[in-house]
Amino acid sequence: MSGPARIAMVAGEASGDLLASHLIGALKAHLPEARFFGIGGPKMQAAGLDAWWPAEKLAVRGYAEVLRHYRELSGIRRALLKRLLADPPDAFIAIDAPDFNLWLEGRTKAAGIPTIHFVSPSVWAWRAGRIRNVVRSVHRLLCLFPFEPALYQKHGLSADYVGHPLADIIPLEPAQQAARDRLNLEPDGFVFALLPGSRQAELRYMAPTFIATAKRLLERYPRARFLVPLVTRETRNQFEQALWDNGAQDLPLTLLFGHAHDAMAAADAVLVASGTATLEAALFKKPMVITYKMSPWSWRLMRRMQRQPWVGLPNILAGRFLVPEFLQEAATAENLAQALGNLVADPVLPERLRLAFTEMHRSLRQDTASKAAAAILPLLAGRA
Q: What is the pLDDT of residues 345-358, one digit of tens each?
A: 999 999 999 999 99
Return the CATH architecture of domain 176-364: 3-Layer(aba) Sandwich (3.40)
String of DSSP letters for 57-108: GG---SHHHHHHTHHHHHHHHHHHHHHHHHS--SEEEEES-HHHHHHHHHHH
Share of the chain above pLDDT 70, in %: 89
Q: What is the pLDDT of residues 227-259, one digit of tens each?
A: 999 988 888 899 999 999 999 889 999 999 989
Q: What is the pLDDT of residues 9-46, one digit of tens each?
A: 999 877 789 899 999 999 999 999 999 999 999 999 99
Tell me how far apart the alpha carbons of residues 159 and 61 are, in angstroms, rounded to a whole number: 26
Q: Which helix (H) or strand (E) holds 325?
A: strand 325-327
DSSP state of 191: E
Residue 16, pLDDT score: 87
| Higher per-residue confidence, 336 vs 203 | 336
Above 70 in pLDDT, residue 381?
Answer: yes
Q: What are phi and psi of 261, to 5 degrees?
A: -70, -40
Q: What is the pLDDT of residues 120-133, one digit of tens each?
A: 987 765 666 688 88
Residues of the chain with CATH 3.40.50.2000: 6-163+366-381, 176-364
- Model confidence, pTM: 0.82
Q: What is the torsional sign of CA 256, 230, 20, 121?
A: positive
Above 90 in pLDDT, residue 281?
Answer: yes
Above 90 in pLDDT, residue 214?
Answer: yes
Mean pLDDT over each residue of the chain, to the nearest integer? 89
Lowest mean pLDDT among 57-61, 295-299, 300-304, 315-319: 57-61
Return the CATH architecture of domain 6-163+366-381: 3-Layer(aba) Sandwich (3.40)
Confidence of residue 384 (pLDDT cuts 50, 70, 90): very low
Above 50 in pLDDT, residue 62?
Answer: no
Q: What is the pLDDT of residues 284-298, one digit of tens each?
A: 999 999 998 876 766
Share of the chain above pLDDT 90, in %: 68
Above 70 in pLDDT, residue 300?
Answer: no
